[in-house]
Amino acid sequence: MKITVIGTGYVGLVSGVCYAELGNEVVCVDKDAGKIEMLLEGKIPIYEPGLKELADKNRSEGRLAFTTVLDEAVRGSDIVILAVGTPPMPSGEANLTYINQAALEIADAMNGYKIIAIKSTVPVGTNERVAELIRSRTSEPFDSISLPEFLREGSAVKDTLYPDRIVIGADNEKAADAMVQLHRPLTDQIIVTDIRSAEMIKYASNAFLATKISFINEIANICEKVGADVTKVAEGMGYDKRIGASFLKAGIGYGGSCFPKDTRALIQIAGNVDYEFKLLRSVVEVNQDQRMNVIRKLETIFGGELRGKTIGIWGLAFKPNTDDVRDTPALEIMQYLADNGVKVKAYDPIALDNFKAYYGKEGVVWCDKALDVAQDADALCLLTEWDEFAEADLNLLQSVMKQAILIDGRNVFKEEDLLGTDFIYYSVGRPSLNKGVKEQIPVMQL
């Protein structure tokens, strides 16, 4: 098939490359001329393992192209996939400006029947409104498809080529069949439903996963007070097939471009139809507060006074294997420390440059090596579970620090890792591993 993908962010670029890998002719379109120039030079503007190799292969074999010229790409395609951004507005609702603009440009370029699929995460009813918008500009025939994505940054290529399921929302059987055939090489787990249900499946899936994360973090906080180990609790829960083991890893909460945006958007969607989504509001509140556990633990260790201390930060991306720093817990933690007179030193293996542009404050010491962060630091906070940090020599780390204090926000280290060290150590929901300070964690007023 001939496919045009509009938008070369995480979803659009990964999807376009993988569709080409299936043998389709794909053109990826973006208004950002600088991004397209990078792609034409063989550079990938995002960090995603395995993506560059696939892109290079499919470009060399003539199945993948990049351009800023939308109308030409649309005219030469059978299927047009919208994968542009839908960033949150202050209200929490998704901003559909880019979707609407792309729809108008598609309409103006139409030269015959097309299948127009929306892969961007959009509120329920958006596909219908976009279809109306296109019909207002053209009499050319088309069918509208909802094609929600379920990619995880850091494993997006794998998730695309080996998906758990494909969801197709359609109101025309012929168009649905064409989309089923496009995705059949990927999996037999293909769900065809109405368009509004497909739109809701995306939001409901992300909201449920966010709920699991906030739930296990609440359990971790209770474990710290009653002397249980949240990793053992999660393991025991995970064997129950009704629950499952995924997304039961306690830490400092979720971040990134999907969960924060989609949970707030679903709360707003519910509000727009006069329904208060109480559970999801609590999920968001728990996640926001969980980040501050790092601060609370530092406050406990230093007797409530952080001013003048030097605190190192390991990890700035919201998760490992990505350079995405959107809504990363590191942002609020570092801002709080800086606002309270702390000298902050920071390092991330991949996301350092992105975070520098995102942070917006002065005074941080940006380091090129993990050990440089720890040099003469009063404490070190691990916020992203990169392998580089998990494999660190803790004895060497201790030797360069001013005070051997380690806050492990992702439960990276095990008991055997700490043997032979003198670290004051705090993790999340594992009180038996904590060393050095045994007081209850106080509630911090923000």
Q: How far is CA 180 from its chain centroid?
A: 27
Q: How far apart are CA 215 and CA 206, in angstroms?
A: 14
Q: What is the C-alpha to C-alpha distance for residues 261 and 255, in angstroms, rounded to an integer?
A: 9
* Rounded to 5°, angle at Cα 411 from 410 and 417: 135
Instruction: Give the distance, in angstroms, between the CA of residue 62 and the centroid of all CA atoms in the same chain.
Output: 31
Q: Give me the catalytic one of 223, 258, 367, 381.
A: 258
Residue that has been written with the tokens 């997006």 in this structure? 156
- The CB-based long-range contact list for 45-48 (8 Å cut-off, 24+ gap) reads 45/8, 45/13, 46/9, 46/10, 46/13, 46/322, 46/323, 46/324, 47/321, 47/322, 47/323, 47/350, 47/351, 48/10, 48/14, 48/153, 48/154, 48/156, 48/157, 48/322
Check if the beta carbon of residue 176 is closer than 8 Å to that of residue 36. Answer: no
Query: Helices 329-339 and 293-301 sit at what angle, rounded to 10 degrees?
Result: 40
Question: CA-to-CA distance for 287 and 253, rounded, in angstroms?
Answer: 5
C-alpha span between 48 and 61 (Å, rounded): 21
Decide if 169 contacts 127 (C-beta within 8 A).
yes
CA atoms within 13 A on the CB side of 270: 16
Q: Is 381 a catalytic residue?
A: no
Q: How far apart are CA 41 and CA 33, in angstroms?
A: 12
Cα 384 to chain centroid distance, Å, stands at 13
Given a contact cutoff of 8 angstroms between Cβ atoms, the answer to whether 286 and 221 are in contact is no
Q: What are the catalytic residues?
A: 258
